[in-house]
Amino acid sequence: MKKSLFIAVFSIVAMAANAQNNEHGFYGNKFFDNWYIGVNGGASTKTTNQPDKFSVNGNAGLRIGKWLTPSFGLALEGNYYFSTKANGKSVGQYINEMYGENLEKENTRYWTAGVLGSLNISNCFWGYLGQPRKFDIHVITGIYWGQNTTKNGTVKNMINHKIGLDFNYNFGKNREWSVYAEPAIIYNIAGVNSDPYSQGFQSVKYHSNSSFLQLNVGVNYKFKTSNGSHNFLIVEPCDQNEIDALNNEINSLRAKNVADNDEIQKLRNEIANLKKALEDCEKAPKTVINEPSLPAVFYQLDKSVITPEQANNVAIAAKMMQNHPELKIQIKGYASPEGPHDNNMNLSVRRANAVKDMLVKKYGIDPNRITAEGCGETDKLFEVYEFNRVAMLYIEK
């Protein structure tokens, strides 16, 4: 009855924890996240049938666990019970008595190891806040393998069921440390004797005469997670209104892109018309002058890359040189006065060479017909300050 009631309560709380956790997502929930390690120790005594001298035994344990959600976790735990008999019988002797033996004069060694489940009922019912509360309560339950060894070598193996509460105080910059007090009752629910007089496996049972009470205190340290903290971080669900607004913005940008493509096509048509006009102009007699008679190539601030729009001007110069193999040109690169002189000089050289490289590599112009040089910074070529970031093309006499 006790076991059924506890399982029912544990299941209800677990469902509440799952419902609570499903409201949010959590960042920092990888396999190696939310692990902790801790030590504990305390005292234990038989639940019923105490002797004349009240018997208390010490124990020490190690716990290694992982929180799977902010409300539910699993751990491996082991405890060793000291065979102290100053105030009566040891836990190991009580185990012997449970199996019908009386070995008061026999020292015994008793230890347990098993799997422990924890429910953070504070988070289950009041929600997770992004880090542990200063104080919270855990419901714990676990199945343990226990072994009782007497001095003469008799070994008893058994299965224990632990039920208890952890009252936690969490502290540290990220609440990575916790100190807890843990009252619990531990039932010896089944066992197997390994000595020659064994009666074999004993059936599962829950009885206070086959149990002992325990009060431990412990400290846990939670390792850092992949999110940079020591705990789960809450990921709030997206607002549908925000999603709809983003979709509308995306659709608006797509429509703008279509309009921009139409404008680009219109400009391409204009370029084609200009090229045709250029071909018509090339039929006129050519005059060799020192002043620029070819389109200039303009650049962006601190750039020496020819943009697609400016590449059309290079194409015009290439067409003219192809139609007139006798022509030679001089390219002079300039930079506006921002920045150090050495940088501007280097930039002007790169701008002149960029035009030459395009004429040679893209249009097959003989490099011996082209002279390129950098002239450093200037603000005298054009009244518009930005236009001085330029490569000027001159036809040589």
303 or 4: which leads in pLDDT: 303
Q: What Cα–Cα distance (Å) separates residue 333 from each residue in 239, 240, 297, 316, 344?
A: 54, 54, 9, 18, 10
Domain boundary among 175, 203, 235: 235
Please list, residue by residue across 330-350, b when 16 or more beta carbons sit within 10 angstroms of its beta carbon and e when fewer do: bbbbbbbeeeeeeebbebbbb
Structure tokens at 191: 């066992």
CATH of the domain at 383: 3.30.1330.60
Q: What is the pLDDT of residues 272-290, one digit of tens each?
A: 888 888 887 777 665 544 4
Confidence of residue 89 (pLDDT cuts 50, 70, 90): low
Whole-number average pLDDT of the chain: 82
Q: DSSP letters along 224-270, please?
A: P-TTSSSS-EEEPPPPHHHHHHHHHHHHHHHHHHHHHHHHHHHHHHH
In a domain, 43, yes or no: yes
4 close to 191: Cβ distance less than 8 angstroms = no
Same domain, 166 and 40: yes
Give me the sign of the Cα torsion angle 371, 377, 378, 381: positive
Which contiguous run of DSSP H or E holds residue 13? helix 2-22
In a domain, 370, yes or no: yes
Q: DSSP letters along 320-341, please?
A: HHHH-TT--EEEEEEE-S-S-H
Q: DSSP letters along 346-371, please?
A: HHHHHHHHHHHHHHHHTT---GGGEE
Same domain, 332 and 390: yes
Question: Taking 60 as the threshold, does the pLDDT of residue 292 lie above it?
Answer: no
In a domain, 242, yes or no: no
Structure tokens at 87: 């105030």
Q: What Cα–Cα distance (Å) separates residue 200 from each residue in 99, 161, 196, 361?
A: 11, 20, 10, 93
Question: Taking 70 as the threshold, does the pLDDT of residue 101 lie above it?
Answer: no
Confidence of residue 151 (pLDDT cuts 50, 70, 90): low
In a domain, 259, yes or no: no
Same domain, 194 and 292: no
pLDDT number for residue 12: 43
168 or 148: which leads in pLDDT: 168
Question: Taking 60 as the threshold, does the pLDDT of residue 84 lie above it?
Answer: no
In a domain, 244, yes or no: no
Query: Which burial class, exposed, middle or buried, applies to 48 when counting CB atoms under 10 A from its CB (0-12, 13-18, 19+)?
Result: exposed
In a domain, 120, yes or no: yes
pLDDT number for residue 203: 59
In a domain, 268, yes or no: no
Range of the domain at 105: 2-235
Same domain, 230 and 287: no
Q: Helix, strand, or coil here: 206?
A: coil
Q: How much is the average pLDDT of 295-321?
A: 92
Same domain, 63 and 195: yes
Q: Is this structure's pTM higher than 0.75? A: no
Euclidean distance between the first and the last CA atom of the chain, given in angstroms as a whole number: 112
Same domain, 193 and 74: yes
- What's the CA gap between 213 and 163, in Å, rounded? 10
Question: Taking 90 as the threshold, does the pLDDT of residue 239 lie above it?
Answer: no
Q: Which amino acid is at 221?
A: Y
In a domain, 251, yes or no: no
pLDDT number for residue 196: 36
Q: How much is the average pLDDT of 208-228?
A: 90
Question: Taking 50 as the threshold, does the pLDDT of residue 187 lie above it?
Answer: yes
Same domain, 205 and 103: yes
- What's the CA gap between 126 and 122, in Å, rounded? 6
Confidence of residue 48 (pLDDT cuts 50, 70, 90): confident
Domain boundary among 176, 202, 235: 235
CATH of the domain at 231: 2.40.160.20
- CA neighbor of 136 nearest in space, from 73, 207, 64: 73
Question: Taking 60 as the threshold, does the pLDDT of residue 16 lie above it?
Answer: no
Question: Taking 80 as the threshold, does the pLDDT of residue 331 lie above it?
Answer: yes
